[in-house]
Each structure stands twice: as structure tokens, then as C-alpha cells.
């Protein structure tokens, strides 16, 4: 299992070497790290939420929609409770987490208990969440939050931005849950084979529901960071994170069929993508082309995995 | 005699409702009546024809991805293929002044090529069609955006005049929809490949044992979707006189919704041209009708989201009921 992560680490080193050969001064600098630490956390957390669902053989197209939905509800709660001073922040955060959780629970209920295919469920709920967010916010931005709240998005502790710290802590916790806990192992088993999992005594429906709720809570955290970073939240924020998230998860070794993928892999793939983007940025590649490059990376990765798999099976045969 | 006729009609209506697409026909008529009473302008049949022509891209693409979704796949790259094809077409136009029929051939050919890439990748790599088409969507869309940012493009007047020709009371767009419907219907119903598509949608193992060629079928359905995208790109350029990059940003998801509302069995193996046609009409009426009925645009997404979740959930629950019933019957027999 760790084979793939080793390969990813090699790829990361390769990218860094290429970058430092091409742009020795700009690439190996504090700016690169700063850009990395500012750009990655938001969609990194969304990718983690996506990964959790994908391991259990699901897919969540509504991640970004539910993130903005949670953000908008929390933001409105904060502005309504502004008279409470800094206590309103606590309520805002709570509302974001609860809305994220509710969104996840709705997805989870439909996927696990009614057994609708996840891609269709989340396609519908994506539009549904977007609709609610649009009606509540009337299409505009909800902005200006209390000063201490912004610290969660822009603050720096010992030179490291707070969102990065949150991402790292979240990754460690998730790694622990997935690798050492019974819950995590059961998720992998469900992802690999649902029928076999249910015969071996795992409450499949309940676990699936829990997975979606858990990913909803993570989405709530992403909503907190997103709204704190921009000091405002709007429906169309982060619309590119869905494709980027799926690319990052897929490159990180998460299989859409389920049962595969680790937090380490996803973290490495986030680093690789960020480094690549930095190199492209330094090379003055048009921003529009970055979408294409993301898609290209995804395809090349799929082809590579296929070819390596073929070579391996040939070796085993001989 | 009269009684016989009435009971015949009743039987017909009943038969319609036993089918999956029955309710969408009823819903379409219902929503049309409701919106027409709120705003009488909507009731004119000519307006409906115009609207269908203006939304021909939806009809053509929905019919294009129907075979693929019957087979159990998903194509998220349709909008990307439309954009990329219109890019190629405009490139050709800037170089030479091709007559329109030739241009149509170019558009369809390029579309098929893009679809072929999807199909080859999916059947070669054996990964989920969601991932592959998401990747190609990003690639096509990025390149096209980059290209159109560099150049602007204007159509010649002859081209625009051609789009307004009317033949037997219907515009070119309407005729294209009808032709596409016929083509899809014949392919699914009477051609060998249609049997193969339904077989793979119903039960993959059985289809392989029956000797249907999986590679050929996969390649065909994705090429067909590309063909539809190419045709729509041409229609799109005809309609607008230019290629608009932002036009179809949500098209892919909407197409899937249309197909599902049109009675596709989400477990595969069932779906009809008839249902798809009415579902597209329903979506178009819903979208423009909400504007006509003066319901704020904010509510569109919410309503469509609720409708799709409700329909799919109902479908699944019904499937479960049927299976339960069968098990009960079987137990009774034993």
C-alpha cells in the first residue's frame, strides 16, 4: 500500500528538483512556501472531505456547494448576533459546523439508506445547496466579520499561517482515524467490497452515513477558513475547488471505485500540485491553461498507473 | 361502442403511466398549462417551437448521451467538447471560407474525434468514466478559454442568414432535433449496436457471455456523444453568430438531470428517446417558465435539485419494493 506513496514522494522530489534547476532563485525561497501555505489549506481540507467519501466508494459533487452554504449561514448568524461581541464568533463557527454536518447527513441518508448512487445524489444536493445559499444570500456577498474571527484565516503563529496548522492537525487526526481505528478499517473494507463487508458483520449503512456526516464536519471547517480568509463569503467562491479536489485526491492514490487512498498520499499530491503550479506561474503560463494542465496531470497519472499495473502483472506471470 | 372506445383510452393512459416516462409527459403538460395561465404569451405553440429551436443544444446533447447513460456511463465533458469543436470550427473559418454543409461535416467529425478520445481512454484504462471525462473536460475547456482570449471572431453574414431559413414551417434547429431523435431511435431500436448497449446496461456479465463486443460498444457510445457535441457546437455558432465560452458552464450536470428525469433506470438498461425528448422540454419550460411566472431566478437551482433527488429516490424505493415483492412471491411458492 505504501508503494504508491513512495512513488509520489519521488515525484515530489523530481518536481522540486526541476523547479530549482529552472528557477534557482525564485523557486527555493520563502515566497514559494508562503504561497503554498496560503493556497493549499482551503482546498486541501475540501480534498480531505472528498477523500473520506471516495474511500467508501462514494463521490461528493456537493462539497463546494455545501462549503459555501455553511459559510453563508455562519456568516449571517455572526452578523445577526453582532451585539454579543466576540461571543458571536463562537456561534458563527458552531453554525458552520452544524450546517456542514447537516448537509453531509442529508447526502449520507440518501446514499446509504435509500441507496441512490452517490454521483446522482450529490449532483442533486449540489444544486439544492446552491439554491438555498442563493436565496439566503440573495446572490450577494456576506462580509465584514469580527476581527478575531479573521485570525483563523489570516493569522500567523510562529511564522506558519493558521489555516496550514489547522490542515496539518486535521490530516494527523484523519490519518490516525483511518489507519489505527476500527472505524477507518471498516471504511476501507466497505469501499473494497460492500457485500463482503456486510457479511463480515460491518453495519454498512450506518458506517456510510457516518462517513458522510464526518466529511460534512470537515466541510464545516473548510467553510470557517474560507470565510475568514476573504472576510466575506459568496455562492460562487471556490468553484474550481471541486475539479481541483478530485484531481488532488486521484493523484494522491484515492480510487474512485473505493477502498484505496491514504492521507499521506493526498498530502503529497497537494504538495506536488502546488509546486507545479508555482513553476508554471514562474514560467508565465496563462492562468486559463492551468485548468488544462490539471486535467492533463490527472490523465497522465491514470495512464501511468495503468501501465505500471500492466508491467507488474506481466512480471508476476513470468 | 362508445364505452369500448373510452375504456380503450383509459387503457392507453394507464399503459403510459405504467411506463417510467409517463409521469414526465404529464408533468410537462401540467407545468405548461400552469405557466400559460399565469402568462398567456407562453401558450402560443409558435413560441414553444422557437424555444425548442433556441435550446436545440439541450435536445441534441441529451439524445447524444442517452446511449452512454443507458450503458451505465457518465459523460461530463460534453460542454468541453462543444467549446473545443466551436474553437476548431472558428479556426477553420478564419483560414478558409468553407460552404456551410462542409463546415457541418467538419464540426461533426471533430466532435466524433473528441468523443473517440474519451471512449478509447475509458476502455483502455478501465477507470470510471467520471474521472476520465472530468479530466478531458478540464483540458478542453482550458485550451478553448486560452484560445478565445487571444482572438476574437465574427461570423460572415451568409452564415447568419442560413440560420434563419425556414423549411416546411420549421427552422433548421427544429429539423436537427427531429433528425437527431430519429437517428437515436433507429440506432437504439433497430441497429445491432442498440441491442448491445441495452445488454451492457442491463447485465454486463451476461452481455459478455452473449458475445457483444464491449470495446466496440464503449467506443461507439462515447463517439456518439462527441458527434452530438459537434453538431451542437455548429448549432450554437449558428444561433449566436459567435462562440461564447461561458454559455454552457453547467450543461453537463443539466444533461444528466434531463436523462434521469426522462425515465432512465439509474441501475442501467432502460431509457427511451421519447422520455428524453419530453424531459428536455420539461426542463426548458421549467427554466424559461419560471422567468415567465415571475419566480425569482434564485429558486431555479433549488427546485431542480429537489426534483432530481425526489425522482431518483422514488426510483430506488420502487426498485426495492419490486425486489421485495419478488422475494415474497418466491418464498410463497416455496
Q: Is the pLDDT of residue A218 over 90?
A: yes
CA distance A265 to A7: 10
Residue B314 sits at φ, ψ, to 5 deg, of -60, -45
The mean pLDDT of chain A is 85
Average pLDDT on A171-198 reads 89
Which residue has better confidence, B162 or B261?
Answer: B261
**For position A241, what pLDDT does the model report?**
84
**For position A316, what pLDDT does the model report?**
80
Buried b (16+ CB within 10 A) or exposed e, A133-163: bbebbeeebbeebbeebbebbeeeeeeebbb
Per the CB < 8 A criterion, the answer to whether B164 and B241 are in contact is: no
CA distance B78 to B69: 13
| Closest CA–CA distance from residue A318 to any residue of chain B (Å) | 23
**For position B158, what pLDDT does the model report?**
62
| Virtual torsion, Cα A13, B143, A43, A41, nearest 10 deg | 50
Pairing state of beta strands A232-233 and A142-143? antiparallel
Which among A125, A132, A306 has CB closest to B309?
A125
Pairing state of beta strands B170-171 and B166-167? antiparallel
Average pLDDT on A59-68 reads 89
| Closest CA–CA distance from residue A155 to any residue of chain B (Å) | 33
CA distance A156 to A160: 5
Percent of chain B at pLDDT > 70 equals: 85
**For position A209, what pLDDT does the model report?**
92
The mean pLDDT of chain B is 81
**For position B19, what pLDDT does the model report?**
64
Average pLDDT on A38-44 reads 84
**Residue B17: pLDDT band with limits 50, 70, 90:** low
Which among B135, B257, B313 has CB closest to A299?
B135
Per the CB < 8 A criterion, the answer to whether B103 and B155 are in contact is: no
pLDDT in tens, B282-319: 888 887 777 776 777 677 778 878 877 887 788 788 77
Per the CB < 8 A criterion, the answer to whether A166 and A229 are in contact is: no
- Cell numbers at residue B120, please? 478509447
**For position B114, what pLDDT does the model report?**
92
Most B CBs within 10 Å, among A65, A242, A286, A299, to test the B interface? A299
| Closest CA–CA distance from residue B266 to any residue of chain A (Å) | 8
**For position A171, what pLDDT does the model report?**
92
CA distance A37 to A178: 25
What residues of chain B lie within 8 A of the CB of A107, using their CB? Answer: none
Rounded to 5°, the CA angle B282-B287-B290 comes to 110
User: How many residues appear in chain A?
Assistant: 318
Residue A161 sits at φ, ψ, to 5 deg, of -60, 145
**Residue B224: pLDDT band with limits 50, 70, 90:** very high
Which among B128, B132, B302 has CB closest to A131?
B302
Which residue has better confidence, B134 or A153?
Answer: B134
Contacts of A2 (CB under 8 A, 6+ apart): A262
Sign of CA dihedral B18, B21, B24, B26: negative
Q: Is the pLDDT of residue B269 over 80?
A: no
Task: Give the Cβ contact number of residue B24 at 10 Å.
Answer: 24
Paired with A232 in beta bridges are A143
What is the reported pTM?
0.84
- Cell numbers at residue A264, please? 499521506
Q: Residues A117-121: contacts with CB within 8 Å, 24+ apart?
A: A117/B266, A118/A53, A118/A57, A118/A58, A118/A59, A118/A60, A119/A59, A119/A61, A119/B74, A119/B130, A120/B256, A120/B260, A120/B266, A120/B308, A120/B312, A121/B309, A121/B312
> Given an 8 Å threshold on Cβ–Cβ distance, is B139 in contact with A129?
no
Q: Is the pLDDT of residue A213 over 90?
A: yes
CA distance B281 to B278: 5
pLDDT in tens, B52-104: 888 888 899 999 998 888 888 888 888 889 888 888 888 887 777 777 788 88
Which residue has better confidence, B15 or B116?
Answer: B116
> Given an 8 Å threshold on Cβ–Cβ distance, is B135 in contact with A295?
yes
What residues of chain A lie within 8 A of the CB of B316, using their CB? Answer: 114-116
Buried b (16+ CB within 10 A) or exposed e, A257-296: ebbbbbbbbbbbbbbbbbbbbbbeeeeeeeebbbbbbbbb
Average pLDDT on A245-261 reads 84
Per the CB < 8 A criterion, the answer to whether B74 and A119 are in contact is: yes
Contacts of B171 (CB under 8 A, 6+ apart): B49, B50, B53, B164, B165
Which residue has better confidence, B270 or B113?
Answer: B113
Radius of gyration of chain A (CA): 20
Q: Is the pLDDT of residue A1 over 60?
A: no
**Residue B250: pLDDT band with limits 50, 70, 90:** confident
**Residue B154: pLDDT band with limits 50, 70, 90:** low
CA neighbor of B162 nearest in space, from B176, B182, B144, B181? B176
What is the three-class DSSP state of B86? helix
**For position B2, what pLDDT does the model report?**
66
**For position A102, what pLDDT does the model report?**
93
What value of ipTM does the predicted structure carry? 0.80
User: How many residues appear in chain B?
Assistant: 334
DSSP string, B132-160: HHHHHHHHHHHHHHHHHHH------HHHH
> Given an 8 Å threshold on Cβ–Cβ distance, is B131 in contact with A302?
yes
Q: Count contacts between A and B (CB, < 8 Å).
A: 138
- Cell numbers at residue B65, please? 448521451
Per the CB < 8 A criterion, the answer to whether A46 and A64 are in contact is: yes
**CA-CA distances (angstroms) from residue A133 to A42, A60, B263, B310?**
19, 18, 29, 20
Q: Find the farthest-apart pair of alpha carbons in chain A and give their distance in angstroms, rounded.
A: 74
What is the three-class DSSP state of B332? helix
Most B CBs within 10 Å, among A277, A286, A302, A304, to test the B interface? A302
pLDDT in tens, B182-222: 998 888 888 888 888 888 888 888 888 888 888 888 899 99
DSSP state of A57: T
CA distance A242 to A236: 12
Average pLDDT on A36-49 reads 86
Which residue has better confidence, A22 or A47?
Answer: A47
**For position A108, what pLDDT does the model report?**
92
Amino acid at each position: 500500500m505504501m508503494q504508491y506513496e513512495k512513488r509520489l514522494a519521488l515525484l515530489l522530489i523530481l518536481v522540486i528538483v526541476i523547479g530549482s534547476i529552472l528557477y534557482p532563485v525564485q523557486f527555493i525561497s520563502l515566497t514559494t512556501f508562503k504561497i503554498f501555505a496560503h493556497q493549499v489549506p482551503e482546498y486541501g481540507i475540501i480534498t480531505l472531505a472528498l477523500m473520506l467519501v471516495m474511500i467508501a466508494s462514494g463521490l461528493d459533487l456537493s462539497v463546494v456547494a455545501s462549503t459555501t452554504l455553511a459559510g453563508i449561514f455562519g456568516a449571517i448568524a455572526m452578523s445577526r448576533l453582532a451585539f454579543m461581541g466576540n461571543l458571536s464568533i463562537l456561534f458563527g463557527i458552531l453554525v458552520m459546523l452544524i450546517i456542514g454536518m447537516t448537509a453531509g447527513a442529508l447526502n449520507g441518508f440518501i446514499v446509504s439508506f435509500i441507496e441512490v448512487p452517490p454521483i446522482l445524489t450529490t449532483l442533486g444536493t449540489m444544486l439544492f445547496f446552491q439554491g438555498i445559499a442563493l436565496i439566503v444570500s440573495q446572490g450577494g456577498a456576506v462580509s465584514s466579520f469580527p476581527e478575531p474571527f479573521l485570525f483563523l484565516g489570516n493569522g500567523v503563529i510562529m511564522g506558519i499561517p493558521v489555516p496550514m496548522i489547522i490542515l496539518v492537525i486535521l490530516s494527523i487526526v484523519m490519518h490516525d482515524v483511518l489507519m489505527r481505528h476500527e472505524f477507518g478499517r471498516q471504511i476501507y473494507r466497505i469501499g473494497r467490497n460492500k457485500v463482503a463487508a456486510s457479511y463480515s458483520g460491518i453495519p454498512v449503512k450506518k458506517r456510510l452515513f457516518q462517513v458522510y456526516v464526518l466529511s460534512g464536519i470537515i466541510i464545516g471547517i473548510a467553510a470557517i477558513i474560507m470565510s475568514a480568509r476573504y472576510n466575506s463569503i459568496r455562492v460562487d467562491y471556490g468553484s474550481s475547488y471541486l475539479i481541483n479536489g478530485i484531481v488532488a485526491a486521484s493523484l494522491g492514490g484515492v480510487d474512485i471505485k473505493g477502498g484505496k487512498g491514504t492521507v499521506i498520499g493526498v498530502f503529497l499530491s497537494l504538495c506536488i500540485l502546488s509546486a507545479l503550479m508555482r513553476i508554471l506561474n514562474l514560467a508565465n503560463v496563462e492562468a486559463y491553461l492551468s485548468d488544462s494542465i490539471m486535467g492533463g496531470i490527472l490523465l497522465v497519472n491514470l495512464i501511468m498507473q495503468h501501465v505500471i499495473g500492466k508491467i507488474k502483472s506481466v512480471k508476476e506471470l513470468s | 361502442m362508445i364505452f369500448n372506445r373510452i375504456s380503450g383510452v383509459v387503457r392507453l393512459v394507464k399503459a403510459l403511466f405504467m411506463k417510467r416516462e409517463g409521469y414526465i409527459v404529464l408533468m410537462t403538460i401540467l407545468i405548461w398549462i400552469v405557466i400559460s395561465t399565469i402568462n398567456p404569451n407562453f401558450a402560443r405553440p409558435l413560441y414553444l417551437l422557437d424555444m425548442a429551436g433556441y435550446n436545440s443544444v439541450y435536445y441534441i446533447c441529451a439524445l447524444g448521451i442517452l446511449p452512454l447513460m443507458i450503458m451505465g456511463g457518465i459523460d461530463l465533458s460534453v460542454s468541453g467538447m462543444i467549446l473545443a469543436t466551436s474553437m476548431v470550427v472558428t479556426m477553420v473559418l478564419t483560414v478558409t471560407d468553407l460552404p456551410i454543409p462542409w463546415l457541418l461535416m467538419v464540426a461533426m467529425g471533430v466532435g466524433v474525434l473528441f468523443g473517440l478520445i474519451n471512449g478509447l481512454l475509458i476502455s483502455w484504462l478501465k477507470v470510471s468514466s467520471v474521472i476520465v471525462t472530468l479530466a478531458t473536460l478540464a483540458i478542453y475547456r482550458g485550451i478553448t478559454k486560452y484560445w478565445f482570449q487571444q482572438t476574437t471572431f465574427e461570423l460572415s453574414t451568409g452564415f447568419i442568414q442560413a440560420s434563419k431559413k425556414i423549411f416546411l414551417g420549421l427552422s433548421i434547429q427544429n429539423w436537427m432535433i427531429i433528425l437527431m431523435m430519429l437517428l437515436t431511435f433507429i440506432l437504439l431500436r433497430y441497429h445491432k449496436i442498440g441491442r448491445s448497449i441495452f445488454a451492457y446496461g442491463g447485465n454486463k456479465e451476461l452481455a459478455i457471455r452473449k458475445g457483444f463486443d464491449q470495446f466496440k460498444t464503449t467506443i461507439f457510445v462515447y463517439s456518439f456523444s462527441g458527434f452530438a457535441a459537434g453538431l451542437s457546437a455548429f448549432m450554437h455558432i449558428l444561433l449566436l453568430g459567435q462562440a461564447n465560452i461561458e454559455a454552457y458552464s453547467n450543461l453537463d450536470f443539466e444533461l444528466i438531470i434531463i436523462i434521469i428525469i426522462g425515465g432512465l433506470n439509474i441501475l442501467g438498461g432502460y431509457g427511451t428517446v421519447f422520455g428524453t425528448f419530453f424531459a428536455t422540454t420539461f426542463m426548458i419550460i421549467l427554466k424559461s417558465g419560471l422567468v415567465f411566472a415571475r419566480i425569482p431566478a434564485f429558486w431555479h437551482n433549488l427546485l431542480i435539485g429537489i426534483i432530481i433527488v425526489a425522482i431518483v429516490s422514488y426510483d430506488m424505493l420502487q426498485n426495492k419494493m419490486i425486489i421485495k415483492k419478488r422475494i415474497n412471491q418466491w418464498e410463497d411458492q416455496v
